[in-house]
Amino acid sequence: MSETKPKRSPRDIHHGAFTSEGRLVAFPTCFPGASVPITADESLITALDVSMDGDVYGGTSGKQTHLFVGMFRGITGAVFDMAAIKDAQHCAAVCCGRREFAAFVNGDKGGRILIHRLQGLPFDLIQEWGFRRSPCEEIGVIPDGGRIIHAAPDLSRQFAVGVSEGHLFVVNLEDKSFQLVGAVKGRGRVGVGSEENFYGLDTKETLWRFHPSFPYVGTPCDPSPKRRMDGCGPTMGERSTIRFALHSGLRRKPVRIR
């Protein structure tokens, strides 16, 4: 029996491990030659998102959380450490809006939601540049010191939906408002599906669904006949204890109906 020759070349194995499509950027967490990288024990990258312009925003975990942006377009090629967040050691997610991005961080006092302006392109990273740090704005705190598990932006980048250990919440990236919208013991990541649906798991392995325009938090995969499977009305059962009254756009006030 003849031996089968491997089909992959050493080059495919080495470089193919990183890119099979698209583009890989391997870069230190700094502007090489002009700044130092984020401190080693503060630089574990645990959150990433890409803005509509193609810049990469991220957050780190470790002794202290940092928020950073990586710019690899135009006359750029740098990572800028935008902010070191006091009393935060974990970044659960970053979500880019159109002008700002939200960072979802955790510390000893629980989860917080921060808003920071997107970074403008520096003039020219070959010749002359300019970076200034601007402050973060804290727009929300998870009640009772709960930790944020994850968050994800909608496709239009107008808002983000997140979960904590006990709540589902929405952050409006346009007007920088934060709102608790449901009681969910979040677990794992928030997924964005079609037609503006957000999905996630809770600690009971139940899949939940959230649609920002419909006044319910649904559990479409729950086989219980007491609960509605579609998104046409308020969900019945224990998870349907919160309803929103829609005012305009995303501005709504939760109304407890049971």
Does residue 135 belong to the site contacting another protein (CB under 8 A)? no
Does residue 174 belong to the site contacting another protein (CB under 8 A)? no
Does residue 34 belong to the site contacting another protein (CB under 8 A)? yes
Does residue 80 belong to the site contacting another protein (CB under 8 A)? yes
CB of 95 vs another protein, minimal distance in Å? 19
Q: Which stretch binds another protein (CB under 8 A): 125-133, 165-173, 198-206, 246-254?
A: 125-133
Does residue 130 belong to the site contacting another protein (CB under 8 A)? yes
- Tell me which of 131, 176, 189, 206 binds another protein, using CB under 8 A: 131
Question: Contact at 8 Å (CB) between 187 and 202?
Answer: yes
Return the number of the residue (59 or 140) whose C-beta is nearest another protein: 59
Q: Which stretch binds another protein (CB under 8 A): 57-65, 127-135, 210-218, 220-228?
A: 127-135
Return the number of the residue (81 or 165) whose C-beta is nearest another protein: 81
Does residue 50 belong to the site contacting another protein (CB under 8 A)? no
Does residue 99 belong to the site contacting another protein (CB under 8 A)? yes
Q: Single out the residue of 85, 83, 82, 140 nearest to residue 111, CA to CA.
A: 140
Give the separation between CA 83 and CA 106, rounded to whole angstroms: 15
Give the separation between CA 219 and CA 174, rounded to whole angstroms: 28
Does residue 57 belong to the site contacting another protein (CB under 8 A)? no
Give the separation between CA 169 and CA 42, rounded to whole angstroms: 27
CB pairs under 8 A, 24+ apart, for 160-164? 160/93, 160/95, 160/97, 160/102, 161/190, 161/198, 161/210, 161/212, 162/92, 162/93, 162/104, 162/113, 162/186, 162/190, 163/187, 163/190, 163/200, 164/111
Site for another protein in 183-222 (CB under 8 A): none
Q: Which stretch binds another protein (CB under 8 A): 3-11, 16-24, 113-121, 205-213?
A: 113-121
Question: Contact at 8 Å (CB) between 81 and 32?
Answer: no
- Tell me which of 16, 28, 120, 249 binds another protein, using CB under 8 A: 120
Q: Which stretch binds another protein (CB under 8 A): 25-33, 148-156, 174-182, 226-234?
A: 25-33
Does residue 129 belong to the site contacting another protein (CB under 8 A)? yes
Binding site for another protein (CB under 8 A): 30-36, 38, 53, 78, 80-81, 99, 118, 120-121, 123, 126-133
